[in-house]
Structure 1
């Protein structure tokens, strides 16, 4: 069996003989192993094993991609807006004028790199306090979503995906609407924390991604699942690129932060309206399905417990190990964004909002282009397995983080971006591998567990990484980047154990 075969021992989880034939009972049902497909309706009744046809036939070829674009446009726009607003509020309270806002060269720490300078010391204190506030916001938004995502995800297998798509947009709209009011009336930072907590109750980004990718899994075959997931991830990257530029320009033009916050709230409203108008339920909902049901959590847990049919395939231990790798790879993706912005706002870089916006935009677009080209080259020409692609991605990310930790000039930051151009491949490829290890009936539970790990990664990353940055920024600001690189190194070791 070739390494790039779709049904390699790692990917194939059912010893089912595939037989394409019409049944002899006159029903016109196409039988594929233990899975039954109706050509007229496009729906499949799944009883186990993998299928080469989608579970449901979508009404349009494009389904959740616009939803992901709109939702993630708002989501990724909040990151630079929130951290820069926190930074300026903290600086204002501590009597510090950031270098990008300073009109006096004597108060620019980028022009005075003497670490004993009062301005430099004050800047590091502002950096540390801003990192702490960023941690508080992350805790408020993730402490609840870590748990509710499990229920929302497992519920979607019976109650439909649509509710899990709607909830995060409602929560995001409440949060951003509250931000607009709080910023307009110049409320203190702690007044914004309840908005983040409310967003967490609605599941926030992890539930949105879980529902969107589960929706995709329902309308994909095993052959086109990887490319559809990568296209969806590309929609995320394009949204992030445009959002970062837009927010950066608006912050520069409207330093009160009200207008960019209102713009993001409007985009979130569009995501909500798109879901209502263009994302119907794919199948019939079970009227007995409950949103908060302990059996839903048990269903997720059973996915990672040994069953009678797991002795030969070793599916469960692969799921466990790959989910742990997913956690290590997700922590930097989810939690490092705010720290990276603080990092380039600090000496010796002192970037302003516009430069941060353009840099992040170019970075996201470059990452997506390199991810698509890299995946095509590694899978089509080099015939690498999906797990090997993840390992290459981790090596790219590890090298980039080491370079960023040691960077002293803007040029090195740009080179670091080029070195890490393949790091975006890890998460979508891990989603694909995990999805192929689950049956169609288990997709909701699987993506609920993935979303749980994303939320857990956000919570762990926000607490641990923010605390590390706050505690080490004064003596080695790149130490946190080394820690992030260590997560990718651990991922490489675990994947090496899995493959070899």
Structure 2
């Protein structure tokens, strides 16, 4: 049976299954730490804030501190393996196929969800989850998954406008299904407890894994081994191919194009640092006094946050149709995040929290636009290397930012818990300044030549090298 070239269902179901349990993990850890600290077992429909006892109120700050440190431990433990696997696997997908970068993270996420289900069902030590984060990390995690999916879309998309819209569509699909899942988690938790949402998430992840393995068609065809020429030089290893692919992506670009590529990557990573760092503390902030949100409100809040994927896709589609410059679209997204973080820092009521989230309606738009801009700079055979670098940077900045922001939150929660959001807003000035630098350089990344022409190796190299040079000719001339 011929497979399908549709990676969107994989992204949609992965997002749904992940956000079916992701908002609950922090709540589950929070409640388990509360129970361990107070030696009490609150009913599932209540939160520690529900009690007005002065004896229990002294524990709020300690539970907040322990919860933020728990997140810090998980991020630090999973950071290094996920970074190494992301860079190696996504870059290797240029030769070995995109599906390896999609299937491997799906298997790791399923394994972690099953451990999470066991911890919840059998009431195991909650710190087992810290070690369990190694399972998805060793399989690449979200960075490898997204890198593989975006490289897959780059393979099957022809022109620049279609590529931009389809990449924005992946972000939109992810956010839409995440919002649906997040909206239902509060009701699911109140009706059935933690076990059933975790089980439903595991079942959904198993289904999407089967689709990716047996239905999704591969876009990169491996060349057949030629046994008729035993004297042919040995093919480079996967590690050598990965390193050479990343090196070639920068080495073959012209000076101006290489400068713009580095600047765009810096904008991408600095924006991710500010956005991920601030957003990672939304739920913990809402669980604290004076908000004391219930699981229902947390579900609504997460759904509003994930709706920015839909609004960002609509923004990309509308602004692209109107011919808005790409750099201006990125700037609007950066300003959207900065505004939302400032409002969040001073939010003391439910209405203000929702207004802060609504202020970030265009916060995902920079990711889609920047990915498409950088994808146009490099050749087709270097898409995997590009998205490996992007995923590597995104995972690195996400892990480092979460660790930094959780440390700051643990240190400042007693005096000013909203200080971390002001920090995130201030850091948004970094990508804004870099955008100005790109504008000053004045290079149109869609039309500028991609660097020097092919060297003598294109005419003298082996068959594989000649095929690569022929494929890259439009970009290299």
- Give TM-score, length-normalised by structure 1: 0.80
Checking the alignment, whether the CA contact within 8 Å between 2:344 and 2:418 is kept in structure 1 is yes
Compared CA separation, residues 143 and 250, structure 1 to 2 (3 A)? farther
Q: Deviations over 1:362-400 (max 9, x none)?
A: 3322x234223322333333x321121000110111011
Distance in 2, matches of 1:153 and 1:103, equals 42
Distance in 2, matches of 1:98 and 1:472, equals 27
Give unmatched runs, 5+ long, in structure 2.
226-234, 441-477
The residue that corresponds to 1:297 in the other structure is 243
Structure in which a larger fraction of residues adopt helix? 2
Which deviates the most, 434-443 or 118-127? 118-127
Q: Deviations over 1:171-194 (max 9, x none)?
A: 111111111112211111221223
The residue that corresponds to 1:410 in the other structure is 350
The residue that corresponds to 1:348 in the other structure is 290
Give unmatched runs, 5+ long, in structure 1.
1-57, 110-116
2:272 aligned to which of 305, 325, 330: 330
Q: Deviations over 1:293-343 (max 9, x none)?
A: 144134224434x44x513xx111211111111112223554544411011
> 2:13 matched to 1:67?
no
> 2:29 matched to 1:86?
yes
Compared CA separation, residues 103 and 466, structure 1 to 2 (3 A)? closer
Distance in 1, matches of 2:50 and 2:105, equals 46
The residue that corresponds to 2:145 in the other structure is 208
The residue that corresponds to 1:422 in the other structure is 362
Compared CA separation, residues 252 and 498, structure 1 to 2 (3 A)? same
Checking the alignment, whether the CA contact within 8 Å between 1:168 and 1:205 is kept in structure 2 is yes
Query: What is the number of equivalent residue pairs in this alignment?
Result: 428
Q: Deviations over 1:44-89 (max 9, x none)?
A: xxxxxxxxxxxxxx975x6110000111222233321211111011
Checking the alignment, whether the CA contact within 8 Å between 1:176 and 1:261 is kept in structure 2 is yes
Compared CA separation, residues 101 and 262, structure 1 to 2 (3 A)? closer
Match of 1:223, SS state, is helix
Checking the alignment, whether the CA contact within 8 Å between 1:155 and 1:290 is kept in structure 2 is no
> 2:296 matched to 1:376?
no
Q: Deviations over 1:335-355 (max 9, x none)?
A: 544411011111111111111
The residue that corresponds to 1:3 in the other structure is none
Distance in 1, matches of 2:18 and 2:46, equals 30
Checking the alignment, whether the CA contact within 8 Å between 2:341 and 2:424 is kept in structure 1 is yes
Checking the alignment, whether the CA contact within 8 Å between 1:327 and 1:457 is kept in structure 2 is yes
> 2:128 matched to 1:188?
no
Residue 139 of structure 1: how far off its partner (Å): 2.3
> 2:371 matched to 1:464?
no
Distance in 2, matches of 1:158 and 1:170, equals 21
Compared CA separation, residues 258 and 100, structure 1 to 2 (3 A)? closer
- Give TM-score, length-normalised by structure 2: 0.84
The residue that corresponds to 2:183 in the other structure is 245
Match of 1:189, SS state, is coil
Residue 211 of structure 1: how far off its partner (Å): 0.6
Paired residues for 1:5-404 under 5 Å: 63-95=6-38, 107-108=51-52, 119-221=56-158, 222-255=160-193, 257-286=194-223, 293-304=239-250, 306-307=251-252, 310-311=254-255, 314-365=256-307, 367-381=308-322, 383-404=323-344
